[in-house]
Amino acid sequence: MKKPYRKETICIQSGWKPKNGEPRVLPIYQSTTFKYESSEQMGRLFDLEEEGYFYTRLQNPTNDCVAQKICELEGGVAAMLTSSGQAANHYAVFNICEAGDHVVLSSTVYGGTFNLIVNTMKKMGISCSVVDPDSDYDTLCAAFQENTKCVLAETIANPALVVLDIEKFAKAAHAHQVPLIVDNTFATPINCNPFKWGADIVTHSTTKYMDGHAMCVGGAIVDSGNFDWSLYPDKFPGLCTPDESYHGIIYTEKFGKKAYITKATSQLMRDLGSIQSPMNAFLLNIGLETLHLRMPRHCENALKVAQYLENHEKVAWVNYPGLKSSKYYELAQKYMPNGTCGVISFGLKGGRSAAEGLMDKLELAAIVTHVADARTCVLHPASHTHRQMNDEQLREAGVNPELIRFSVGLENAEDIIADLEQALAQI
């Protein structure tokens, strides 16, 4: 048989591989701790001399199986789960940045990520330059500094729906000897594999399509194994020089292509502790089993809804990268030829107040602070997720005050459109 398997097969089969007589379904290792017969062996585990489980804050078998599935879907070499998408982006950056370092950040990233990097990590001594993801290569390069350690951007920005020119970003990052970290939450590995286009690290808020049912907050980090940290020991001392908290081991020497994820697990998880619960990982795994079926339907429904809105007289504009009229149509065709995501944004001719009015009239589409799950939902970022931003920051983030974020679910597309129709008729 052909290996590695195709994505549909990975969604179903990867991760848990039961041996003779073991449970067919991934077990929930609902245990904080693991038993050993010799004290010496336990010591070796603590020294990272031997692989094995000892405490769920560091590693848990249920979590590792699910991380392995996501790793294979992305085509990476190592992966870990985190308690949330926020924790994933925090760890992905903090694993290679410390006080005095600098990050290049795409201006259109998710509001929570923007806040994390621009405000909270600043308090940790890490500065950043915010760049327009559409800027040309030279402008992008001008954002780098001597102390830059990584670039962070989203495949499809939430909620601006800007499609990242991954190759352009990867080229700029590599020209400055730093990795490109891509948050691939909206596209999912079903629609895009950023590693194929030069990204080095991928992060996910598994809370969105991967879970897909709005049940569990979670995150993941995947390493492509392609970035050779050992070429730049001065830039990445945390990976390339002895870790005194682990008897002087050097991650790149001891763990090779798994150095980055091993360091994030053994240092950041150990000290900061944003672990995903095994129960949530189990539920996430059920979501992953149908991801390959759900994503095409999300995209198909979203395209129908976007086309409907585009032709409605009360609608001022529609932004969906799957529409031919979208400025990002070509980039989307290149990086995500099978579809982008189920999220649409649009504005009404009546502006901000009409947006609020429409939301109150919708019946099937629920107002929730969520996006990217099976049920159609709607949100007004300027009054909800992005309310901590001022007007200038909103514009930089590609979020204009009237923007409605509409997350198209898996219901019948005609019913979703009928709901919009009745709500639009009332405003």
Three-state secondary structure along 223-249?
Answer: ECCCCCHHHCCCCCHHHHCCEHHHCCE
* 185, 188, 224, 319: which one binds ligand PLP (CB under 6 A): 185
158 binds ligand PLP (CB under 6 A): yes
Q: Supply the angle between the helices 278-289 and 61-74 in degrees, to the nearest 10.
A: 30
From residue 309 to residue 328, the character string flagging contacts with ligand PLP as x (rule: CB under 6 A) and all else as - is --------------------
407 binds ligand PLP (CB under 6 A): no
* 16, 29, 91, 110: which one binds ligand PLP (CB under 6 A): 110
205 binds ligand PLP (CB under 6 A): yes
Task: Give the CB-nearest residue to ligand PLP.
Answer: 85
The edge-to-edge listing of strands for the beta sheet with 343-348 is: 315-319, 343-348, 404-407, 377-379, 366-367
347 binds ligand PLP (CB under 6 A): no
What SS3 class is residue 129? strand
112 binds ligand PLP (CB under 6 A): yes
CB of 98 vs ligand PLP, minimal distance in Å? 22
Q: Which residues touch 203 (CB under 8 Å, ≥6 apart)? A: 85, 88, 89, 92, 181, 182, 183, 184, 185, 219, 220, 221, 222
265 binds ligand PLP (CB under 6 A): no
Q: Which is nearer to ligand PLP, 115 or 230 (CB)?
A: 115
272 binds ligand PLP (CB under 6 A): no
14 binds ligand PLP (CB under 6 A): no
Residue with tokens 């924790």: 87
Q: Which is nearer to ligand PLP, 217 or 250 (CB)?
A: 217
Q: Which residues touch 243 (CB under 8 Å, ≥6 apart)? A: 249, 250, 251, 263, 267
Query: Which stretch in 46-54, 183-191, 308-316, 415-423 sits in contact with ligand PLP by CB under 6 A?
Result: 183-191
C-beta separation of 267 from 245 below 8 A:
yes
219 binds ligand PLP (CB under 6 A): yes
84 binds ligand PLP (CB under 6 A): yes
Separation of alpha carbons 395 and 389, rounded Å: 10
User: Burial of 358 by CB count in 10 Å (0-12 exposed, 13-18 middle, 19+ buried)?
Assistant: buried
381 binds ligand PLP (CB under 6 A): no
85 binds ligand PLP (CB under 6 A): yes
| Cα atoms found within 13 Å of the Cα of residue 90, Cβ hemisphere only | 24
Binding-site ranges for ligand PLP (CB under 6 A): 84-86, 110, 112-113, 154, 158, 183, 185-186, 205, 207-208, 217, 219
